[in-house]
Amino acid sequence: MQTLRASKCGLSTALLPASILDVIDALTKAGYVAYIVGGGVRDLMLGQNPKDFDAVTNATPLQIKEVFGRRCRIIGRRFELAHVYSGRELIEVATFRAPPKKEVTSSAGMILRDNNWGTIEQDFIRRDFSINTLYYQPRKDIILDFCNAVDDVQSKTLRLLGDPQTRFEEDPVRMLRALRFAAKLNFSIDKNILKVFTPELTHLLSDVSPHRLYDESQKLFTSGHLNRVLPMLIQFDVWKQLFAEAKPKITLFIERVAKNTDQRISIGKTINPAFFYAVLLWEIFLERCNFYLSKGVVPAEARAQAGLDVLKRQATRTIIPRFAETFIREVWEMQTRLLNPKPQQIEALSGHARFRAGFDFLLLREKSGDETTMGMGAWWDAYQLMSVDEKERVIGQYNRQRTRSRRQTQSVDVSEVKTPHQQTEIEPLVNEPEPRSRRTRKVKPHLDERVLEKGTSQSGEIHADHPILKRKRVKRDLTQVIFGPTQ
Ligand code: ATP
Ligand code: MG
């Protein structure tokens, strides 16, 4: 074990939030030893902004509770620890752990209970990667390094303590952590890990509780390097373990959203991990919708049932909390509403609680080349920036187009309109205000003159195979309807 001067490693109390210092000081004052450990120390050393700071102490959870009183809650069963509130922040305080006793591991070697208190040396051994084992005492300005972890930080190497196969078997989630850290820190993965990181081992993730996998998936989504980690999930055969039905394929849409998510995080904007779930499961949701439609189920019911099905299957891997599931289904439902709004509902729709997420989703689909959005992403983008008068004008315009198109679809065979090479467009929305008096005089070219090939449309245009144009009353065949839990 080496004791290093923290200031020589680039650490100082000035870099720490008051909350973690408060926790370390209170425990020290009560006669315990306490250190900052894990990602906080690692990230500070790398010059990165730590997501949070974790503390570790020789006080047991009950003793921690005695020190902090009502500011402290003991959580976890498999892995008991204390949550201490300091100001508005929450600090995780763990107790030094000894290796788990034999009888609390599963037949596959997975640790089922890990609440055997021990010494700092024992605690170090059971941590995962060397770079996560640096113990920092800020008031003493020291770092305890038990395994030359500082060298691994400097050489940017992700190394597991102990035998990688055993460590992954003990806790398969470490495989996800390995990919997350490698992507986030841009570290190379030690060859001993790579040797055992095989589909046989990733398969063990299916034994991990779907709740824990959801938490880990959230950490992946919010790592700030989603775009880098996604290909790794496929490469290491982890994708299938996390996402029940979504094919291991990074579509242009997924890639665009991943980049967008990383960008938002880099500029300090919040992100909703459920949004990324909505993106990942979008294609499979559409496939499921088509399945129900092909069975003659009316569209609204097909969508509702498909949403339920897809999320239910996903829950076998990661349990998405109810509020997040509702969010995902609303974002999907918003796609239909935004694509085919009733004119009189347009303004209300733009003020809907789920509008922003639904619109972002639509625009990202469109920007990644999804032509089925019919340019409505750009339409809504423009709409939101318009004055009241402009809005009124474009809604009127949209309404007239809608009525005209409906009349045409009544006389035209729908299959004709749908052929890819014969698409007609409705004029785009424009930002410039137009005098009201000119509204009625505007001459629009005949539909035939505006036939476009698929893919040639500018954003802001609506095509003739827009749902508005081909909407037909579907006669419900109740014998075919598959009723879901909502009915
Ligand atoms: P970050 O908070 O940036 O995601 P972290 O390394 O701090 O990364 P946490 O999940 O906060 O990760 O865990 C804190 C510390 O607890 C880790 O640094 C590691 O030492 C230890 N740890 C966490 N999860 C495991 C695990 N599954 N196996 C072994 N040790 C773990
Ligand atoms: Mg942490």
* Residue with the larger pLDDT of the pair 109 and 133: 133
Cβ neighbours for 105, distance < 8 A, ≥ 6 positions apart = 111, 112, 170
- Give the pLDDT confidence score for residue 103 in this predicted structure: 60
Question: Do 282 and 256 contact (CB within 8 A), yes or no?
Answer: no
Residue 54 Cβ < 6 Å to ligand 1: yes
The helix-helix angle for 226-235 and 252-266 (nearest 10°) equals 140
- Residue 419 pLDDT > 70: no
Q: How far is the CA of 133 from the centre of ligand 1 (A)?
A: 9
Ligand 1: which atom is nearest the Cα of residue 132? Answer: 18
How far is Cα 217 from Cα 290, in angstroms, rounded to an integer?
28
Q: How far is the CA of 111 from the centre of ligand 1 (A)?
A: 16
Write the single-letter amino acid at 428. P
- Residue 138 pLDDT > 50: yes
Ligand 1: which atom is nearest the Cα of residue 50? Answer: 3
Structure-token match 């303004």, residue found: 347
Q: How far is the CA of 39 from the centre of ligand 1 (A)?
A: 7
Q: In which residue ranges of the chain is CATH 3.30.460.10 found?
A: 2-323
Residue 173 Cβ < 6 Å to ligand 1: yes
**Structure tokens that stand for 400 in this block:** 């007239």
**Ligand closest to CA 149:** 1
Q: How far is the CA of 149 from the centre of ligand 1 (A)?
A: 15
Maximum average pLDDT range among 354-368, 454-468, 472-486? 354-368
Ligand 1: which atom is nearest the Cα of residue 133? Answer: 20
* Mean pLDDT value across the chain: 84
Residue 218 Cβ < 6 Å to ligand 1: no
**Ligand closest to CA 51:** 1
Residue 78 Cβ < 6 Å to ligand 1: no
Structure-token match 């790794």, residue found: 232
* Confidence category of residue 115, pLDDT binned at 50, 70, 90: confident
- Residue 416 pLDDT > 90: no
* Confidence category of residue 474, pLDDT binned at 50, 70, 90: very low
Q: How far is the CA of 52 from the centre of ligand 2 (A)?
A: 5
Instruction: Report phi then psi at 4, rounded to 5.
Output: -110, 150
Positive or negative: CA dihedral 224, 227, 370, 287 = negative
**Ligand closest to CA 127:** 1
- Residue 245 pLDDT > 60: yes
pLDDT tens-digit readout, 20-64: 999 999 999 999 999 999 999 999 999 998 989 999 999 999 999
CA-nearest residue, atom 12 of ligand 1: 39
How far is Cα 105 from Cα 204, in angstroms, rounded to an integer?
14
Q: ∠350-355-357 over CA atoms, to 5°?
A: 150
Ligand 1: which atom is nearest the Cα of residue 51? Answer: 3
At the fourth CATH level, the homologous superfamily of domain 2-323 is: Beta Polymerase, domain 2 (3.30.460.10)
Write the single-letter amino acid at 321. P
Distances (CA, A) of 93 to 58, 218, 226, 291: 10, 21, 28, 50
**Structure tokens that stand for 351 in this block:** 């003020």
Catalytic residues: 52, 54, 128
pLDDT tens-digit readout, 259-273: 999 999 999 898 898
Q: What percent of the chain has pLDDT over 70?
A: 82
How far is Cα 189 from Cα 209, in angstroms, rounded to an integer?
26
**Ligand closest to CA 37:** 1
Distances (CA, A) of 296 to 131, 282, 301, 433, 477: 57, 21, 10, 44, 7
Positive or negative: CA dihedral 347, 349, 353, 357 = negative
Q: How far is the CA of 239 from the centre of ligand 1 (A)?
A: 21
Q: What percent of the chain has pLDDT over 90?
A: 71
Residue 224 Cβ < 6 Å to ligand 1: no
- Give the pLDDT confidence score for residue 402 in this predicted structure: 81
Residue 51 Cβ < 6 Å to ligand 1: yes
The helix-helix angle for 18-29 and 61-68 (nearest 10°) equals 110
Question: Do 54 and 38 contact (CB within 8 A), yes or no?
Answer: yes
Residue 130 Cβ < 6 Å to ligand 1: no
Average pLDDT over residues 231-242: 95
- Residue 418 pLDDT > 80: no
Question: Do 199 and 168 contact (CB within 8 A), yes or no?
Answer: no
